[in-house]
Amino acid sequence: MNTVAALAPRRFRPGFWTAVAVVLFLAFCTVTVIRFTKGLGAVTNLSDQFPWGLWIGFDLLCGVGLAAGAFTLTAVVHLFNLKKFEPIVRPTILTGFLGYAFVIVALLLDLGQPWRIWHAIVYWNPHSVMFEVAWCVMLYTTVLAVEFSPVVFEKFGFHAPARIIHRLITPLVILGVILSTLHQSSLGSLYLIVPSKLHPLWYSPMLPLHFYISAIGAGIGMVILESYLSGRAFRRHLEMDLLEPLARGMVVALGIYGLMRLQAIRRNHAFGSILEFGYEGQMFLLEFTLGVLLPVVLMSFKRLRTHPDWLVGSAFLAVLGFVMNRLNVSITGMEAASGTRYLPSGMEIIVSVGLVATGMAVFAFAVRMFPIFPDGPVTHRTESEEGA
Amino acid sequence: MGMGLLIDATRCIGCGACSSACKEQNKLPGKVEEVLTAYTWTTLQAREGLNVRRMCMHCEVPTCASVCPVAALTKTADGPVVYDAERCMGCRYCMMACPFEVPKYQWDRPVPVIGKCILCAGRIKEGKPTACAEACPAEATVFGKKEDLVWEARTRLRQKPGEYVNQIYGLTEAGGTSVMMISNVPFDKLGLKSNLPAEPPAMRTWQVLSNIPDFIGVWGVFLYGVHWITARRDDVAKVENHGNGQEGQS
């Protein structure tokens, strides 16, 4: 029966979700082939009026943003010395690393000539935010890989390198936090250059800070969500004693962020465009209500914060609102000035969904292979350990 | 200050010689299109009874050059904003950022590059005018030193005040451009962006980017300081617990 297999996932057994992941991966490969033989125009709805679409708005902006849980939690554990969170650091670093890998693969598809990606290392233009983004992706992916490597070393019994990394963990984490701070904010800085194009509900000289703080909020939401998902998949109980204080952190981050957004809109004298209730106004209200107001209000009540369903639901809203915000900045807010409407093509969506599915499959594989969760690799668990 | 173009929309007869000459000079395939594309670097658009020339404005502080991560776009001393196709990796940030929406992409090619007017940089180096200016039979597009062109434009506006809108488009837009236009119809009605501030957009990002080295130092010291203080607090707590005959937690 199904439940038996789930209770004792000793061996990998392909099921429905494996099949879905395989199909999506194959579809992704097909689109990739068309894209590199026929050009970007054949697979995307991008145009001269709308040169950046879903792959930048979702894959790049959200992939990086949702990986923010990694730097937030490593800072909490190793710099703020709140050691009780240590058990959930590893899955967070893994998610961060996979998120960045996801971004790099998406960039390889989106760039017109991805085989020249190394040009950013050789030809410098420090005036370009994209130059900063390129360097942050490269360096922080490396830092995440090094932070995760002890898990792999331990698995194969190489204790010496694991010990060296353990000793260097403080400077490594500091480097990671600095790079993340720069990178998260730089994605907002990308849009500083388009004051005449981005709608005043989203444009602000404070965009880098908006992006940074909302990434922390949504990154924490991701940590909660991912604990829940892996808990479901591997029949682990939720670490409520850890997730409840994280939810408080999320409220603070989203609260500051929400306030800053409102201040920016006031400075732009753009409250009118919310009241007009046009396309942009509606999208803003949806994004702000679902992604900021609801999670902040709900998670302010201890009773809801300590209830797994409300906690996970609010974390989901925060992540959803985050994704909506990035899509609004990169697509909704840019449409009016471009004089055209952009909807991603089916093939663009296949690439994004296929990459997410692949990332989740790799995550599921990794937690079976390596000691990522506090109680060791999931395969070594027995039914008797199943608590509440 | 370099060279530039002065386009007088009131003089244009709409013959299209400029667009054709451009195609020939730069060996661009296909017919001249209504809008700018990777293969049509300049074109005429009929607006309000005028023929409006569209092309790269060749900004004094080009937004495209500031955003290009590999410095494939650069402003030369002669005036043109030129493009090095060998460097470009195709991020298309220039297309996103350009306030005049000029750079266009080869969406139909597996190995695409950006297409935009380069103000015949090669010809200018040889001391020749741009192909479009040379081809214009009505002196609607004239080539020259930018300061001379500004002088010429001011002269026309002063001598025939009734026949022109009192504005030189490109004098201040996005920090000023090497290509300028005068007309008898307000420029926003001609499809030209009229909301561009005189401060180059590049300054907005530079205010952030130029502070990064300083920020790294301060942030690094702060983060290490937090670690140092909290770790010490932990050590003190441990010692005190031992003093009380208790074991430190885990």
A273-307 confidence digits (pLDDT tens): 999 889 999 999 999 999 999 999 999 999 999 99
Indicate if the pLDDT at residue A325 is higher than 50.
yes
* DSSP result, A168-226: THHHHHHHHHHHHHHHHHHHHHGGGG-TTTS-TTT--TTHHHHHHHHHHHHHHHHHHHH
Please indicate whether, in this complex, the C-beta atoms of B231 and A189 are within 8 angstroms of each other.
no
Q: What is the mean pLDDT of chain B?
A: 93
Q: Residue A387: inside a domain, yes or no?
A: no
Residue B10 CA to residue B6 CA, distance in Å, equals 12
Q: Residue A91: inside a domain, yes or no?
A: yes
* Nearest-by-Cβ selection for A48 from B104, B193, B201: B104
Q: Residue A164: inside a domain, yes or no?
A: yes
* Nearest-by-Cβ selection for A178 from B67, B71, B219: B219
Residue A130 CA to residue B90 CA, distance in Å, equals 12
Please indicate whether, in this complex, the C-beta atoms of B90 and A111 are within 8 angstroms of each other.
yes
Give the β-pairing of B179-182 and B3-8: parallel
Indicate if the pLDDT at residue A14 is higher than 90.
no
Tell which wins on pLDDT, A240 or B241. Answer: A240
Please indicate whether, in this complex, the C-beta atoms of A39 and B106 are within 8 angstroms of each other.
yes
Answer for the pair B211, B204: CB distance below 8 angstroms, yes or no: no
* DSSP result, A37-71: HH-HHHH----SS----HIIIIIIHHHHHHTHHHH
Convert the pLDDT of each residue in B76-85 to its tens digit: 999 999 999 9
Minimal CA–CA distance to B194: which of B173, B178, B179?
A: B173
Label residue A58 by pLDDT band (50, 70, 90): very high
Indicate if the pLDDT at residue A388 is higher than 90.
no
Q: What is the pLDDT of residue B51?
A: 95
Convert the pLDDT of each residue in B199-235 to its tens digit: 999 999 999 999 999 999 999 999 999 999 998 887 8
Q: How many domains does chain A have?
A: 1
Label residue A190 by pLDDT band (50, 70, 90): very high
Residue A179 CA to residue A212 CA, distance in Å, equals 12
Convert the pLDDT of each residue in B10-31 to its tens digit: 999 999 999 999 999 999 999 9
* DSSP result, B221-241: HHHHHHHHHHHHHHHHHHHHH
Convert the pLDDT of each residue in A254-272 to its tens digit: 999 999 999 999 999 999 9
Indicate if the pLDDT at residue B130 is higher than 90.
yes
**Chain B residues 107-166 with CB within 8 Å of chain A:** 107-113
Half-sphere exposure of B56 (CA within 13 A, CB side): 34
Q: What is the pLDDT of residue B53?
A: 96
Minimal CA–CA distance to A366: which of A172, A122, A96, A62?
A: A96
Residue in chain B closest to A81 (alpha carbons) equals B230
Label residue A11 by pLDDT band (50, 70, 90): low
Please indicate whether, in this complex, the C-beta atoms of A189 and B112 are within 8 angstroms of each other.
no
Q: Residue A176: inside a domain, yes or no?
A: yes
Please indicate whether, in this complex, the C-beta atoms of B68 and A170 are within 8 angstroms of each other.
no
Mean pLDDT for B114-125 is 96
Its sign, for the CA torsion A209, B204, B73, B103, is positive
Longest dimension (CA), chain B: 100
Indicate if the pLDDT at residue A1 is higher than 60.
no
Q: Residue A225: inside a domain, yes or no?
A: yes
- The domain in which residue A353 lies consists of 17-374
Q: What is the mean pLDDT of chain A?
A: 90
Instruction: List C-alpha distances in Å: A179 to A112, A138, A173, B128.
Output: 26, 10, 10, 49
Indicate if the pLDDT at residue A374 is higher than 90.
no
Instruction: List C-alpha distances in Å: A102 to A68, A97, A106, A153, A326.
Output: 14, 9, 6, 23, 16
Indicate if the pLDDT at residue A148 is higher than 80.
yes
Indicate if the pLDDT at residue A3 is higher than 80.
no
Please indicate whether, in this complex, the C-beta atoms of A119 and B37 are within 8 angstroms of each other.
no
Least confident of A300-304, A358-362, B155-159: A358-362
The answer for A168, left when phi > 0, alpha when psi is -120 to 50, beta otherwise, is alpha
Q: What is the pLDDT of residue A232?
A: 79
**Chain A residues 129-148 with CB within 8 Å of chain B:** 129-134
Indicate if the pLDDT at residue A380 is higher than 50.
no
* DSSP result, A136-171: HHHHHHHHHHHHHHHHHHHHTT-HHHHHHHHHTHHH
Residue A353 CA to residue A54 CA, distance in Å, equals 11
Q: Residue A318: inside a domain, yes or no?
A: yes
Indicate if the pLDDT at residue A4 is higher than 50.
no
Q: Is the ipTM of this complex over 0.95?
A: no
Answer for the pair A264, A302: CB distance below 8 angstroms, yes or no: no
Other Cβ atoms within 10 Å of B49 Cβ, number: 7
Answer for the pair A311, A304: CB distance below 8 angstroms, yes or no: yes
Indicate if the pLDDT at residue B123 is higher than 50.
yes
Q: Residue A10: inside a domain, yes or no?
A: no
The type of residue at A166 is H
Chain A residues in contact with B220 (beta carbon < 8 A): 174, 178
Indicate if the pLDDT at residue A98 is higher than 70.
yes
- Secondary structure element (H or E) that encloses residue B7, with its range: strand B3-8
Q: What is the pLDDT of residue A12?
A: 62
Indicate if the pLDDT at residue B141 is higher than 60.
yes
**A276 phi and psi angles, rounded to 5 deg:** -60, -25
Tell me the CATH number at A233: 1.20.1630.10
Convert the pLDDT of each residue in B32-55 to its tens digit: 999 999 999 999 999 999 999 999
Q: What is the pLDDT of residue A100?
A: 95
Least confident of B20-24, B147-151, B197-201, B244-248: B244-248
Q: Residue A287: inside a domain, yes or no?
A: yes
Convert the pLDDT of each residue in B169-192 to its tens digit: 999 999 999 999 999 999 999 999
